[in-house]
Chains A and B, each alone.
Chain A
Amino acid sequence: MKELNSNFQFAYYPGDHFTAYTPDWTLRPEYSKDGNQFLEQKYVEWLAKSNTEKK
């Protein structure tokens, strides 16, 4: 994606397949915090776009 000059986000966390699992991961909440904030931001962008289209 680097060569394509894309804005995909990549995140690497210390841990394995199971410990890096995110939303229910309670011991290291920062893992899920980043992902949830990303999804919320996408929703905010959708709302803005949706409101613009309605106008």
Chain B
Amino acid sequence: MKKFYFSLLLVSLFCADGFGQQFEVSYSASVFDTPFTGNVVVYMSKENKEPKDGAIGRKSFPCFSVSVKNIQPGQAITIDDKAISFPIALSDIKRGDYYVQIVWDRNLGGHSIAASPGNLFNTSEKITITKDFKKVFKIVSKEMVAEHPDFKETEYVKEVEAPSALLTAFHGKEMTVNAAVILPKEYYTEPTRKFPVLFRVWGYIGNYHELSGTIEPSKQVASTAVIEVILDGNCALGHSVYANSDNNGPWSDALITEFIPVLEKKFRANGARLLLGHSSGGWAVLWLQTQYPKVFDGCWSSAPDFVDFRSFYKVNLYEAENMFYDTEGSPRLAATVAGFIPWATIKQTIQMENVVYRGEQMHSFDAVFSKKGSDGMPERICNSSTGLIDTAVFAHWQNYDIALNLRNNWASLKSELDNKVRISVGNRDNFFLTMPLICLKNR
């Protein structure tokens, strides 16, 4: 008899495991009438009515993705427990009500999947996950993320889209280096005067289109009138930080040899080039200044991303074995409140980005610092399941360790670079960006 019940239990478990909640998702021909190939991402949230807009890694919410080929409009695909998932398989997530959005990523160049123009999505739907493992949720995407409206130029704000033969050759499609240019009021009151240019690089998720229609002239740098150039670094894999990289392409070269000549020909620039940036923009300007000290004449880098890989989210990448846990087994943090109150762990962030597979912060680092992988995507600094750091991948990252570069090349850099750099940071940076600067300072 015991044997019978044990067999019955096994059969029950097998059956339960054989079916779980599923999504059957499709897109309407009314929004996109050609076949789709790419990744489909499911975003779910109990609180956020627009779950696709949730901050990946900073907020923890269930998400799932599958890769599909040649799906026709109206053709349903199934998303079930075989999908790449966070935090666990679909049928195992906590019961209850969820808002759900599906995004079909056409990967046309926008850096965030949820906000990339041309991507397909559905108006948020509320569903209830119960113990009904046979439940199938059918969701049709009928919306498309709109293109940015045309940049509205004003007397003081202009848009520059400089064609880039270098990036076009790298990506195999037409590419430009874009920016907003803000002119000083003196540009019109003193029509023969030439001005220094302040290149200001915005941080992660900044977008220069936010300046469309601005009517204010540029602010002075202390008492100096400048032409201000706003660069946002946006690219399909995150923030280019205007570095040449295996995955994003030759952004430094494009900026310096293609964009700047167009800019300086179009506007009355006097040849002086100053740099200012915060966060990823702070890293970008420090990189540009230290790599091209003859091109730029001064740099103020504010709270730059990790400038010394001996302290990458407090992980010493030269020594550590695991990105998720420290040597005592405690989870490592990716974000904090005021530098010490836990906000998000590295494990949570990387595992969510394993589902939302491009454009987010950790992937953005991989895209700049890593080689291109055999699948065409950036090699990952660590295993997304275990957190084990890939030392071969990190070997390539070291090319982008600013502190290491400075130490190794100081003799040749000193004469052109030494007085040109100022770096500032808050003493309680949310992302542990204070410590790398201390490492750099003491290097």
Contacts and interface: CB of A to CB of B under 8 A. Distances in A.
Interface residues of A, number: 38
A34 B423 CA distance: 11
B297 A22 contact: no
Given A4-B407, A7-B419, A20-B425, A38 B300 contact: yes
Interface in B354-383: none
Contacts of A4: 406-407, 410, 414, 443
B278 A21 contact: yes
Contact of A42 (B279, B303, B406, B420): B420
Interface stretch (B40-48, B114-122, B219-227): B219-227
Nearest to B297: A46
B428 A8 contact: no
A1 B427 contact: no
Contact of B300 (A12, A39, A47, A50): A39
Interface string B196-239: 10101000000000000000000101111000000000000000
B272 A35 contact: no
B424 interface: yes
Contact of A39 (B198, B303, B410, B426): B198
A20 B424 contact: yes
Contacts of A47: 272
A3 B300 contact: no
B272 A23 contact: no
A13 B424 CA distance: 7
Given A16-B428, A16-B429, A1 B422 contact: no
Interface residues of B, number: 47
Contacts of A17: 279, 303, 426, 429-431, 433
Contacts of B219: 23
Nearest to A19: B426
Q: Return the 7 tightest CB-CB contacts between A and B, nearest first.
A: A42-B298, A20-B426, A40-B222, A15-B426, A11-B424, A9-B422, A17-B430
Contact of B224 (A1, A6, A21, A40): A40
A2 B437 CA distance: 12
Interface string B404-443: 0011001000100011111111111111011001001111
B423 A9 contact: yes
Given A21-B302, A23-B219, A35-B302, A14 B426 contact: yes
- Identify whether the interface residues of B are mostly helix, strand, loop, or mixed: mixed
Contacts of B223: 40
B443 A1 contact: yes
B276 interface: yes
Contact of A10 (B198, B414, B419, B441): B441
B427 A8 contact: no
Contacts of B414: 4, 6
8 contacts: A2-B443, A4-B414, A8-B441, A12-B425, A12-B426, A21-B278, A23-B276, A37-B222
A33 B424 CA distance: 12
B418 A6 contact: yes
A24 B45 CA distance: 34
B394 to A, nearest CB: 23
Contact of A22 (B278, B337, B437): B278
B430 A12 contact: no
A39 B298 contact: yes
B338 interface: yes
A15 to B, nearest CB: 4
A40 to B, nearest CB: 4
Given A35-B424, A43-B298, A3 B443 contact: yes
